[in-house]
Structure 1
Amino acid sequence: MRVTQGCFSFLPDLTDEQITAQIEYCLGKGWAIGVEHTDDPHPRNIYWEMFGHPMFDLRDAKGAMMELEACRKAFPDHYIRINAFDSTRGFETVTMSFIVNRPKTEPGIRMTRTEVDGRSIRYTHSVQRA
């Protein structure tokens, strides 16, 4: 199963050139860049681990690509994503987020639907490792 979270997740994996182009777009908008990783792609796991600090003063995509490459070396079998933050209002708001690294084998996520009292429906997610 292919995890689909963030922008471009239904497209084939982005090349480094395409990732660089997206980072340049974000920097052109004045957005800060952050790199995050996780080994748990569960839909409710919204708190991925930050790799390094957000790059608020970055002006060149090469700096973000160096940070991404360091994260790939440290965590080759994790999901890694790039986040772009818009801090123009005095607080960081994720404006754009996309996955740039995936493990060789992605786990499946199973969703179970259960009807409970009062015609309510509850959903349970579980990760199925290969």
Structure 2
Amino acid sequence: MRITQGCFSFLPDLTDEQISAQVEYCLSKGWAIGIEYTDDPHPRNTYWEMWGNPMFDLKDAKGVMLELADCRKAHGDSYIRFNAFDSTRGFETVTMSFIVNRPKVEPRIRMVRQEVDGRSQRYSFETVR
């Protein structure tokens, strides 16, 4: 099962050249880039682990790509995503987010339906490894 979260998630995985081009676009807009990683891509898990601090003052994608390479070395079998932050409104807003690394085997997420009082239904999600 392919996890589909963020921009480009329905496309084939981006190459490093394509990732770099997206980073250049973000930097040209003045957006800061943050790198996050997780082993749990559950849709309700919105708080991934940060890899360092967001990169606010970069003007070149090479710095971001070096950080990505280091993150891949440490967490190569995890999900890694880039977040682009726009601060033009006076606070940081995630403007763009996309996955740049996936584990070799992605977990499956299964929806479980449970019948409760009367005809009511309760739904939950389980990660199946």
Normalised-by-shorter TM-score class: over 0.9
Question: RMSD of the TM alignment (CA)?
Answer: 1.2
Q: Aligned residue pairs: how many?
A: 129
Shift of 1:116: 3.9
Tell me, in whole angstroms, the C-alpha distance in 1 between the residues paired with 2:57 and 2:117. Answer: 53
Pairs within 5 Å for 1:1-130: 1-117=1-117, 120-129=120-129
Shift of 1:119: 5.5
- State the AA in 1 paired with 2:111: M
User: SS where residue 25 of structure 1 aligns?
Assistant: helix
Q: TM-score, normalised by structure 1?
A: 0.94
Tell me, in whole angstroms, the C-alpha distance in 1 between the residues paired with 2:65 and 2:90. Answer: 26
Q: Which runs of 5+ in 1 are unaligned?
A: none
User: SS where residue 109 of structure 2 aligns?
Assistant: strand
- State the AA in 1 paired with 2:70: A
Q: Which runs of 5+ in 2 are unaligned?
A: none
User: SS where residue 54 of structure 1 aligns?
Assistant: coil
Q: TM-score, normalised by structure 2?
A: 0.95
Moved over 6 A (4+): none
- State the AA in 2 paired with 1:73: K
- Percent identical residues: 78
Cα deviation code 1:46-88 (max 9, x no counterpart) = 0000001000111100000001010000001100000000011
Tell me, in whole angstroms, the C-alpha distance in 2 between the residues paired with 1:99 and 1:79. Answer: 7
- Larger proportion of strand: 1
